[in-house]
Every structure is written in C-alpha cells, then in structure tokens.
Homo-oligomer: A and B are copies of this chain.
C-alpha cells in the first residue's frame, strides 16, 4: 500500500465533506466547548513508517476529550496488566441512556474502559499508582506526539469540573460498591484534565501511532506488548464509539475512538493511524463530518480489517 497517494485522498475527502460541515450540533453541555468555531475540519494520517499527511485545518488544536481514555487505559495496562479487568469489563455497553442503570445493575463494575464510568474507574486505578497523574499524562502525550509544548486547556477542565455531577454520581455509585479507592472529586479533577489536553490532528495521529505499530512508538520502544495492543484494538472496535460502535465498524471497518470535541481517532493495524476533527456532532455524540470522512477513506482505499 506504500504507493498510495494519501495526500491526494485526504485532499479529496476534505473537499467532499464540506457540505456536511454545517450539519449537526457542537457539544454545549459546558460553555467552554460551545465556543468553538463550528465549521472547521482537519484530517491527518500518520503511517507506521513515519510519514505524515494532513488536509484541512491541520494546525487547529482542540481538546481531545474521550480520545484521552485510550491513553488512560494504556497507562493503566502498563501498570496493572490483566489485573485491571477485575475493576472494569470488556463488553459493549448496549445503550446510552442507562449509564447509571447498568452500573447499578452490574454492581459498580463498568462495562468497558471507554464509557465514562469505565474511564473514571481506570483513572482511579491510575491515580493510585502515579504521584503526579496530570504531569505523567502530559509527558506521555508530549513524548509520543513529538511536541513538548502540549498543554491542558484549563478553562475547559474547570468548566467540566463545575458541571461534573453526572460523573460524580457514577464515581460515588462505584465507591458505594467498593470499586473506588481515592476521593471521587480528586479523580474527577484528573479525569477532566486528561480530557482537556490540546492537540491538533497531526499530533493526535502521531501520539497514538503505537496502536497501528504492534504497540511500538516511533523509536521502536514498546508502549504496549503486541498482544496487549491487539487486545486494545479489539476493545476499541467493539466499544470505542459508545452506542454507535456497531454502525461505525459496519461503515468504517477500523477500530476507533471518538470525543465530544468532534474528533475521532481510527487505526488500520500495521498501516497507519488517522485523526479527524469536525466539531458538529450527531445524536450519538460523534462528529458528523468525521465519520463521513473516515467512511470515505475506507471506501477510497478499500481498507477494512475484514
């Protein structure tokens, strides 16, 4: 696939999705997210042999939101290995409406590490093993993205914390079931800071390139073992897009993870990672133009893991 003209494909896609940029709604549950200029778009590919391609607003930075959950899980797996699965499951969650319903029914064990409850409990685990969780997380992104200037958007983090009550409910519910070790508010503060890390699409695709590279970073260092990396990709495939994982797999055919800032990261194992960003969301909380762009990429390159 090395002769593929990725740049041309990304340029085409960027043109084709223009009509979609005005569809959907920017996340507005916190003021800091609602302020973004809504019709932006960027898409970047980072290949396992180190090439980068980008089209659209390549320099624009955004908070990565739930895409940070993949790094949280990665850091937790480094420290806990399979022991982590005693505290969080590996199954798709089924329905959105019932985050707390399901968590109550399943006695405080979240379904998977990518729904909020699951990411928060993974944060709690990580929090217990890191002396400076926010510093460690920032350093991971700085090293993997190759940009030592990566920062946290504190305005977004503060705003998320102020409106934390649904997430706080999940934390306290897990604590009532004995599946939470630190103070709920402390862990939430770390969690919201992780979500508020700012990257552009090029940096995002590069930071997560180990997912496409059998778990190895650009220097060949092992971030995860090859086996863990396959497992993580499998979890992304079954649970990475909330209640739209089945449809995303059906249309795009790659593991992926979305965030409410309108970004989606997807992985073509052994080939590349691709990051897309367009702030307007569909009813599932996924980027309208982002999903369309990835679907086109899948069709144009005739790629799929199947």
Give me the interface of A with B, judged by CB distance under 8 Å: 89-95, 97-105, 111-112, 163-166, 168-173, 175-176, 180, 184, 229-231, 233-235, 237-239, 243-247, 249-250, 253, 255, 267, 269, 304-306
Interface centre among A97, A103, A238 (most CB of B within 10 A): A238
* A237 / chain B contacts, CB cutoff of 8 Å: 237-238, 249, 306
A90 engages B165 (CB within 8 Å) = no
CA of A102 to CA of B99 in the docked complex: distance in angstroms? 12
CA of A171 to CA of B95 in the docked complex: distance in angstroms? 22
A304 engages B230 (CB within 8 Å) = yes
A239 CB, min distance to chain B CBs, angstroms: 6
With A89-B246, A97-B105 in contact, is A165–B169 under 8 Å at CB?
A: no
A246 engages B104 (CB within 8 Å) = no
A97 engages B104 (CB within 8 Å) = yes
The answer, among B92, B94, B234, for a CB contact under 8 Å with A253, is: B234
A52 CB, min distance to chain B CBs, angstroms: 22
- Contact sample, A vs B, 6 pairs, CB 8 Å cutoff: A94-B102, A98-B101, A101-B104, A230-B306, A235-B249, A255-B306
* A100 / chain B contacts, CB cutoff of 8 Å: 100-101, 103-104, 169, 173
With A176-B166, A250-B235 in contact, is A245–B92 under 8 Å at CB?
A: yes
CA of A7 to CA of B263 in the docked complex: distance in angstroms? 46
Of all chain B residues, the one with the shortest Cβ separation from A268 is B306
